[in-house]
Chain A
Amino acid sequence: MPDQAQLLPGTLDLLILKAVSLGPLHGYGILLRIGQISGSALLIEQGALYPALFRLVRQGLMKASWGTSDNNRKAKFYELTAAGRKRFREETEGWNRLAAAMTTALGAQAEEV
């Protein structure tokens, strides 16, 4: 098993938004998608996904509807709402700025100071 990183607080929501922005998914599908796009580098407890999903739905960022999975099981599918897409863009920008700043800061060499 590859080394897995603990999620930073608050990042799970952003990951979910990212996963769902690529197309409607059910809960388990979101988990797989995150694993796939992160190269299985992030550790997410499976059950912990659901409180986050319900919270995002309550905030009006996603909507959910029952459907059928690929292997014909009944499952609840999530997709982004307009508000969700807007929030996703904002948070992505925010994250990029933060990450860039952190990278610069941590990469600083002695002579640059």
Chain B
Amino acid sequence: MKTLAWFRSVAAKFFHRAETSAAMDEELRAHIQLRADDLERSGLTHAEAERRAHIEFGGYEKFKEQTHEALGGNFIETFVQDVRFSLRVLRKSPGFTFAAVATLTLAISANAVVFGVLNAMILRPLNVPEPNSLYAIERGGYHDISQSYPDYRDLRDRNRTFEDLAAYDLAPAGLDTGKEITGAWIQETTGNYFDVLRIQPYLGRFFHSSDEHGPNSAPYIVLPWAYWHTHFQDDPGVVGRVVQLNKHPFTILGVAPQGFRGNLQFLSPDFWVPIVNQEQVEGVSVLNERGHRSLLMVLGHLKPGVTPAQAVADLNTIGASLEKSYPKDDGWMTFSLTRPGLAGDWFGKPLKAFLTGMMLLAGLILLAACANLGSLFAARAADRSREVALRLALGSSRRRIVRQVFTEAGLISLFGGILGLAVSVALLRALSMWQPMETAPIRVPVDPDAKVYAVALLLAVASGLLFGAVPVRQVLRTNPYEIVKSGSAGRIGRRITVRDLLLVVQIAICAVLITSSMVAVRGLVKSLHSNFGFEPRNAILVDSDLSMAGYGSDRAAAMQKRLIDTVDAIPGVQSAGVVDRPQLHYGANTVTVYADKATDFRPANKAADAMTYKVSPGYFEAAGTTLLAGRAFTWHDDKNSPPVAVVNREFARKVLGSADNAVGGYFKRADGTRIQIIGIAEDGKYASLTEDPQPAMFLPTPQSPTSQTTLIVRSSRDPQQLTAAITHAVRDLDAGLPITIHTWTQELNDAALFASRMATMALGVLGLMGAMLSVTGIFGMAAYSVSKRLRELGIRIALGAQRSEVLQAALGRAVKLLVLGSVAGLILGMLANRVLAYIVYQASPRDPIVLSGVVLAMALLGLVATWIPAQRALSLDPLVLLREE
């Protein structure tokens, strides 16, 4: 009852404010009247009595305000008043409002975006039932997540700790729906895949283990919801339809539910097929090769009550027995468990570290933004000290004024938070749609959820409180009499304040970021002109997979020769050659090789793990790889002649001891085949731009057939014309062969330079943010120092100070801090770039262009930041100023 009454009184007070106020006035006036009557009776004149009564009553407005407060319900009322007043004040200084809201928008959106990605990639569990007991199996101390199919079968059938184990591989394939042929990425899964993950079909049915009856026995397709939606227009009649997959008929069984996009967070396959049909899909089946670790991942749910440690012990027992049974193929069969969502620790760990780092950075940005907004607020409070003093003198309480300051801060943080959230939602949506690489099904589904919104708004409110608190001390210490009497003089402190320190740190961080991003950009430019061991300029890649057009590996070599001959005949083509997978194209195949005298082919006795490329005659010319000695392949290096290879210098050095007389030498493969070295190629980059020299070997396609085909065409003709000519020629050869054509530079941008491009972009964005923050920081500080010293500056001008002297007095401190921060940042940046060297090719901060670029950028930044305060200091009119103050 009491609360109800209170609410009613609150509501009444709120809605009948005018009434209450009038009644209160009447009562207080009556009091003064009564007192005046008494005083008049005691002999004073009427006027004098009224004056005395007023004085004795004390601060009329103050007591009225307190009486209002005593009535309760005052909070909301005051709040509405404060908000209205704040809005008015903010509208009156649009520059300040804009700077503050923009800064906060920036900081909040940075935090929300990073948190959104973190949330989607790491915090949010995989969208499958009971993700907590789902694990993937990693092999060996180097956390290799790939397994071979025979090993998988042993693990699946012999373990006692998993409910069941599923496995899958990824492969490209050509899908012919009758209307068009499209390249697609498919996940070849074991029959039990959906059962292991406990997913139910949205439409039709899934395939199961019971559908597997040996090789090519289950020509079925399951579509993800998204692919069904975009390629089949939500047609429910799709179930049962037969489509051509690499020219083999496959039946569409069903559609997976919308939320399920496979078990990887960052990669969504275009559809699923049973792995027993691998030969039809990839042209070759490796399911019987124990040494061929082609399965991307083996995963399953632990049985209830089984701990990961027990499962690992169980798996290790099986591993030990496998090692004993198959010494040639299985080495280092110890296991560990990992989460399947991020493809194991080799990818998941760096990703986690990266995202955590980004989150910290975003937090720092927010903190810096708060510091800057704090000084902006302090500058404003100094500007408004007269107003504050006046309000205090008129009986306003300090608490009320502090509340007012917080209301302003709260409004700004609210606007900033909402805008920041809007920006980040847009960015996250764009990121979700984004496909960073044309050639791989990588998607980052980071659609924001309620958690992201909550975090963004929470951060906004928290930062509002934080920067709103900065000018509080200033308000509390305001002495109205002093200020009204002498103007807002206030001595400017000479000592280093925490705020100064913060600003220096901020400028330093900004300088570090600018240095890093410039180094990254320079590295990127340089890496486009460095020596890869091939020449990407004036070369075009024609990407295809012959198995998609139904060529098995037996017919592939002949088809490749026809392809090369056809393209060679196009005018302007200097040379053409085939490679199974170009260098620097998402990693490389490695093959273990042994010295010629080796007889024991255990992994421990290997001479090297060589990057292996299957290339056709004409490849070295087309790729622009220089042969240092010996000869290149010819079409006569076929199955009827002894096996040969071209190796790079590093291979020769590592396996044969030296490159000088390696030509004619021999080495062995794990199956004991002796291979003769017929040529030495220059060293190049194979898996990544920043790698150390790696051993590599090239095998002739006639001897090692592959249907994976990338045709490299060297020509100085315009790529567009050439692309058209090649497309035409290939279609004449086989209209059913899907091809994609890029320039090699383009391909490098996609694949090899991906990491450094991303790093450059991220650093660029962060650098920009840092720059904006530094600008607002310096701006706030300079504006504060100018407004604090208006009088002093006015007097100096009146006494005939030069413009430069005025500027020095007004901005000297800000400039000093800027220089200090920049130098510190530059030095730190040089140190930090050792880290960058891992991702960016030849990252060197001691580059004069980088150095001068950073200095220029920081100077520009300072100029932008101090422009407005400098203008204000210079345009001071001492007369106006002295009269006012």
Contact = CB atoms under 8 A, between A and B. Distances in A.
Interface residues of A, number: 22
Contacts of B28: 47, 50
Interface in B742-792: none
A74 B26 contact: yes
B63 interface: yes
B383 interface: no
A104 interface: no
Contact of A46 (B24, B37, B58): B58
Nearest to B37: A71
Interface in B1-54: 9, 24, 26-28, 30-31, 33-35, 37
Given A28-B35, A46-B58, A58 B63 contact: no
A54 B70 contact: yes
B71 A58 contact: yes
B59 interface: yes
Interface in A1-60: 26-29, 45-55, 58
A109 B33 CA distance: 51
A41 B243 CA distance: 105
A87 interface: no
Contacts, number: 67
B66 A51 contact: yes
A17 B574 CA distance: 109
Given A27-B27, A46-B56, A54 B71 contact: yes
Given A69-B30, A73-B33, 8 more contacts: A28-B30, A28-B35, A29-B34, A47-B60, A48-B63, A58-B72, A69-B34, A75-B27
Contacts of A27: 27, 30-31
Contact of B34 (A28, A53, A54): A28
Nearest to B63: A47
A65 B544 CA distance: 96
B62 interface: yes
B481 interface: no
29 contacts: A26-B34, A27-B31, A28-B30, A28-B31, A28-B35, A46-B57, A47-B28, A47-B58, A47-B59, A48-B58, A48-B63, A49-B31, A50-B24, A50-B64, A50-B66, A51-B63, A51-B69, A51-B70, A54-B70, A54-B71, A58-B9, A73-B30, A73-B37, A74-B26, A75-B27, A75-B30, A75-B31, A76-B27, A76-B30
A27 B30 CA distance: 9
A52 B62 CA distance: 14
Q: Top 8 nearest A-B pairs by Cβ distance?
A: A47-B63, A47-B58, A51-B66, A28-B34, A55-B70, A54-B70, A51-B70, A46-B57
Nearest to A69: B34
Given A58-B9, A71-B37, A74-B26, A46 B31 contact: yes
A107 to B, nearest CB: 37
Interface of A: 26-29, 45-55, 58, 69, 71, 73-76
Contact of A54 (B26, B31, B67): B67
A53 B67 CA distance: 8
Contacts of B35: 28, 46
Contacts of B37: 71, 73
A73 B69 CA distance: 27
Contacts of A73: 30, 33-34, 37
A54 B23 CA distance: 12
Contacts of B67: 50-51, 53-54
Contacts of B72: 58
B58 A26 contact: no
Contacts of B57: 46-47
A55 B26 CA distance: 18
A75 to B, nearest CB: 5
Nearest to A45: B58
A76 B27 CA distance: 7
A23 B31 CA distance: 18
